Chains A and B, each alone.
Chain A
Amino acid sequence: MRKRLRPLLVPALAVLSAFIVGSLFLLFTDIKHIGMLTTDPVGAFTGALGNIIDAYGALIVGAFGDPKRFSTALQSGDIHDWTIAFRPMSETLVAATPLMFTGLAIAVSFRSGVFNIGGDGQFVLGALGATVVALMFRGMPAPITLVAALAGGIVFGAVWGFIPGFLKARTGAHEVITTIMLNYVALQIVQLALRNDFLRQSTSSQPISKVLDFVRVPQLIPFLGLRLHWGFIVALLVAALVSWFLFKTTKGFELRSAGLNLTAARYAGMSAGGSIILAMVVSGALAGLGGAFQVMGSVTQMSNDVNSGYGWTAIALALLGGTRPGGVVAAALLFGALNNGGHGMQVASGVPLDLLVFIQALVIMFVAAPDLVRKIYRLRQPAIESGAPAAEGAPA
């Protein structure tokens, strides 16, 4: 058992360290209590500490729900009370869903030795693709429209992954540069598309699409009326599929080989360019599917706000999860809880949600520097670095 848990140690400590640094940051920006430091140092300190505890408490309640609500629901047995009690958990899973898709997308690319940091662009274009197809299919039976729109998301995302993959395979253009640039181009495309009357909600002055209420992804637990939708289940299935693909199929074997040693893969008769393109297309398709579920499941209208840095967070998830699909899912659930709980924290204690962006950055840093974590906690160096490859950039 201890042996099985060992690989989890560094990621767990990384998350812990990130939260500790985050607390320090909270402490230093607590202007009110810093101001009290000269007049009432003890009060200032306990007050500031109390604030931190309040904030993290609100974070946990926001992420998993309030025990009091559960007991109320138990007593009354009212469906409505149950809905309220379960809502935070539902929202956590809703928040985790897009992260699972983009996290898996980036994990596939890292495994293949390609540094896809274009998850953002692929995600928003996937959402746009789903929106466009949904509106084109409007009037058809809902299931057909839904499937077509999801396919649209996959295709748009895949195309946006194909471009940098193709350029890298053919011309050697560094995918980090091209994907960053394509992220911005994708944003501009979305804005341009939302000027078009076919997409645009005519009553709004904002660039926002028509409401896609005719192709909602069905709710998972309809009688509770929670936002949690089937996209979450699909994300879990996709994770299993990705795992099967990477470890049980010949194509997956090719991608992993190319990711670890491109020359040897070429010598073994694999097509290096083909692997790069395939990895980017799969990666883009996964991110695009995430975008499609986001626009038709979690929100109902296409706009630039459909994405909130999921492509960048995905890098943290892929690293935290050791580029293993199971690990990525776990990391996405954790970050979903953080993001959702963060809303609760912001409302309850006034600590801005963005603290969690900072904490996520710290998580990436600590996970990417395992020897730093080991040094801080005085852990022994493991004899052989286990399992997954560190996310290595593909050769430029």
Chain B
Amino acid sequence: MRLELREITKQFPGVLANDRISISADRGKVLGLLGENGAGKTTLMNILSGLYRPDSGEILIDGEPRLFSDPADAITAGIGMVHQHFMLVPVFDVVESVALGAEPVTGLVHTFDRATARKRVVELSAQYGLHVDPDAKIEDLPVGVRQRVEILKALYRKSDILVLDEPSAVLTPGETEELFAIIRGLAAGGTTVIFITHKLNEVLEVADTITVLRRGRVAGTVLPDETSREELANLMVGRDVELTVTRSPAKPAGVVLELVDLNVRDDRDSMAVRGVNLEVRAGEIVAVAGVQGNGQTELVEAITGLRQVDSGSLRIGGQVVEHASPRRVSDLGVAHIPEDRSRDGLIGSMTVEENYILDSYHRDPYSNGGRLDWKVIGEKAEVGVREFDIRTPSIETHVGALSGGNQQKVIVAREFSRPVQLVIAAQPTRGLDVGSIEYIHRRIIEQRDAGAAILIVSTELDEVLALGDRVAVMFAGQIVGVLSSDQATKEAVGMLMGGVH
């Protein structure tokens, strides 16, 4: 079926998330929807799936205007969603997960007709080459298979339009290739596919047309054969993607962080970090690149004492810290900028000054024998706000009321407010505007020049290349290559990230 969105507008308090967006996708074609974080992709997708209602604009299916008041309407209209965070009940098996909401039933009390549902799941699985065991429990399945279950869900509902939201974010390169094959198969069979991503290569590889979103608007629609990476990047960010932060060559000194044969398990007990060896010296920035979910999160958590080390050795400034608490690691002069700032780095309903002392409240001069000295805290917080240009009405404002960039600056100000020998920064600029990104990069380089060892973990290739004096690439829990900054080209790092080495 042909899907068309006309002039879709959606306003949230303070944000115009979608501003007169028009896109269209033909039957049997793949539309790539490209955009950065915050470009309005997710809002558009939620409108399409009936979760949000647009303020104005039309959704047309085969030329006919449709109105979705809830997800059930969208499903009836033939739209199937594969959400980035899988919508699968962990304790259900595949058949139950797929059939939920569209269960075949028999009898008076609507007994779930499992046999019929199972048969269909098996058929669809075979027809589209999905290879899913219908009786496996979701929680026992690897991520790639879970995604195929999500696709099965859409097929089971006879969706003619399949929307995939950042489907490769959690996949290994091999799994991504399999996914592309599946997508091509679906399109060949007549399904309209909308593929939402922020990865240029992926849209170029799989899409028939590409629509680029920027800041809630359509920045352009192009054909993959008639465009280039550079043009897409320009459309997506409105500037050249190359981040230009001027930095002098590194002057590495003694080893600060030393990982030897480190093994760490993830929440599901499987080994996420496998035998990692890495050194970070004072005065240099080591950037860890990799697709999300290749063990970077666990690596950072292990270094900062938040996760148990399974085996191997971990030293910071010569001290053995394999089994140290987060507090002990922080006391060694380690600054940690966590991956998810609102969940891990800040307490939204506490004030700016309270967040400013969140991990040093017990230290001089804030604490005086277990008593907090609010006068000193206030003074220091004011200094931090001024130095780091944090835009806030006052230091007594709840930090949750600030913009993302200012929130991140609160964290950076806090972490850099005490002497540090090691900085661990995970996705330090995720979701920030250009100005904030450059500001935070500059601050990190200042720390390096002041003699700190810096470990940056980022899934953004541009960030890795802009900051790393050395670039370590993580794949499947292992460091598959360490490149010096002149060896580290986009192509070289990209190959390693994709598991080619």
Direct contact, A vs B (beta carbon within 8 Å) = yes
Q: Contact residues of A with B, CB < 8 Å?
A: 248-251, 253-254, 256-257, 260-261, 263-271, 384, 389
Which of chain A's residues have a CB closer than 8 A to the CB of B358?
257, 264, 268
Chain B residues, Cβ within 8 Å of A253: 354, 357, 361, 372
The verdict on A248 contacting B371 (CB below 8 Å), with A266-B306, A268-B359 known, is yes
Q: Does B242 contact A (CB under 8 A)?
A: no
Do A267 and B372 have beta carbons less than 8 Å apart? Answer: no
Interface string of B345-369 (1 = CB under 8 A from A): 1111110001001110110000100
Residues of A with C-beta under 8 A to B29: none
Bound: A263/B347 CA distance, A: 9
Question: Which partner residue on chain B sits nearest A268 by CB separation?
Answer: B359
A271 to B362, CA, bound (A): 13
Specify the chain B residue showing the minimal Cβ separation from A261: B347
Pairs of residues from A and B, 5 with the lowest C-beta to C-beta distance, nearest first: A269-B327, A268-B359, A261-B347, A269-B326, A268-B358
Interface string of B231-242 (1 = CB under 8 A from A): 000000000000
Q: How far is the CA of A267 from the CA of B339 in the complex (A)?
A: 11
Can you list 25 A-B contacts with CB-CB less than 8 angstroms, sorted by A residue number? A249-B371, A250-B361, A250-B372, A251-B370, A253-B354, A257-B347, A257-B354, A257-B358, A260-B348, A260-B349, A260-B350, A261-B347, A261-B348, A263-B344, A264-B343, A264-B344, A264-B347, A266-B326, A267-B304, A267-B345, A268-B359, A269-B325, A270-B327, A384-B401, A389-B349
Q: Within the assembled complex, what's the spacing in Å between the Cα atoms of A268 and B350?
A: 14
Q: Are A267 and B371 in contact (CB under 8 A)?
A: no
Kindly provide the distance from the CB of A243 to the nearest chain B CB, expressed in whole angstroms: 13
- Chain B interface size range: 20 to 34
When chains A and B are docked, how far (Å) is the Cα of A260 from the Cα of B347?
A: 7
In the bound complex, residues from chain A placing their C-beta under 8 Å from that of B84 are none
Q: Are B374 and A248 closer than 8 Å at their CB atoms?
A: yes
Which residues of chain A come closer than 8 Å to B41, judged between CB atoms? none
**Set of chain B residues within 8 Å of A256, measured between Cβ atoms:** 350
Q: Which of A257, A267, A384, A389 contacts B326 (CB 8 A)?
A: A267
Say whether B348 contacts A271, CB under 8 Å: no
A268 and B347 alpha carbons, distance in the complex (Å): 10
B interface residues (Cβ-Cβ under 8 A, vs A) = 304, 306, 325-327, 329-330, 336, 338, 343-350, 354, 357-359, 361-362, 367, 370-372, 374, 398, 401
B325: chain A residues at CB < 8 Å are 269, 271
Q: Provide the residues of chain A in CB contact with B362, threshold 8 Å.
A: 250
Which residue, A251, A253, A256, A271, has most C-beta atoms of chain B within 10 A? A253
Kindly state the separation between the CA atoms of A269 and B358 in the bound complex, as whole angstroms.
Answer: 9
Contact yes or no, B370 A249, CB < 8 A: yes
Q: Which of B306, B344, B372 lies in contact with A249, CB distance below 8 A? A: B372
Residues A263 and B343 in contact, CB atoms below 8 Å apart: yes
Which chain B residue has the least Cβ–Cβ distance from A251? B370
Residues of chain A within 8 A (CB-CB) of B345 are 264, 267
Taking a contact as CB atoms under 8 Å apart, the answer to whether B359 and A269 are in contact is yes
A-side interface mostly:
helix
Q: How far is the CA of A254 from the CA of B338 in the complex (A)?
A: 19
Q: How far is the CA of A251 from the CA of B361 in the complex (A)?
A: 10
- Which one of A251, A265, A266, A267 has the greatest number of beta carbons of chain B within 10 Å? A267
With a cutoff of 8 Å between Cβ atoms, the chain B residues found around residue A249 in the complex are: 370-372
For A266, the chain B residues whose CB sits under 8 A away are 306, 326
Chain A residue, CB-CB nearest to B349: A260
For residue A250, which residues in chain B have a CB less than 8 angstroms away from its CB?
Answer: 361-362, 367, 370-372
**Closest chain B residue to A257, Cβ basis:** B347
User: How far does the alpha carbon of A261 sit from the alpha carbon of B347 in the complex, in Å?
Assistant: 6
- Shortest CB-to-CB span from B408 to chain A, Å, is 14
Q: A257-B358, A269-B325 are in contact. List 4 more A-B contacts (CB 8 A).
A: A250-B361, A263-B344, A264-B346, A384-B398
Query: Cα distance A250–B358 when bound, in Å?
Result: 10
* Cα–Cα distance between A122 and B329 once the two chains are bound (Å): 37
Q: A250-B370, A257-B350, A260-B350 are in contact. Are A267 and B361 (CB under 8 A)?
A: no
Report yes or no: B374 in contact with A267, Cβ–Cβ below 8 A. Answer: no
Bound form: Cα–Cα A215–B165 in Å: 71
Closest beta carbon of chain A to B96's beta carbon, Å? 24
Chain A residue numbers with a CB within 8 Å of B327 are 269-271
Q: Within the assembled complex, what's the spacing in Å between the Cα atoms of A267 and B347?
A: 11
Min CB–CB distance B311 → chain A (angstroms): 23
Least Cβ–Cβ distance between A111 and chain B, in angstroms: 12
A268: which B residues are within 8 A, CB to CB?
326, 358-359
Which residues in A have their C-beta under 8 angstroms from that of B398? 384
**In the assembled complex, which residues on chain A have CB atoms less than 8 Å from the CB atom of B338?**
267
Minimum distance in angstroms from A394 CB to a CB of chain B: 15
A248, A254, A261: residue with the most chain B Cβ atoms closer than 10 Å: A261
Closest-by-CB residue of A relative to B367 is A250
- B303 nearest CB across to chain A (Å): 13
In the complex, what's the smallest C-beta–C-beta distance from A121 to chain B, in angstroms?
30
**B366 shortest CB reach to chain A, Å:** 8
A254 to B371, CA, bound (A): 12
C-alpha gap A384/B325 in the complex (Å): 37
Alpha-carbon gap, A263 to B344, bound state (A): 6
Q: Which residue of B lies closest to A260 (CB)?
A: B347
**CB-CB < 8 A to A384: which residues of B?**
398, 401
Chain B residues with CB below 8 A from A264, complex form: 343-347, 358
Q: Cβ of B330 and Cβ of A269 under 8 Å apart?
A: yes
Closest to A259 in B: B347
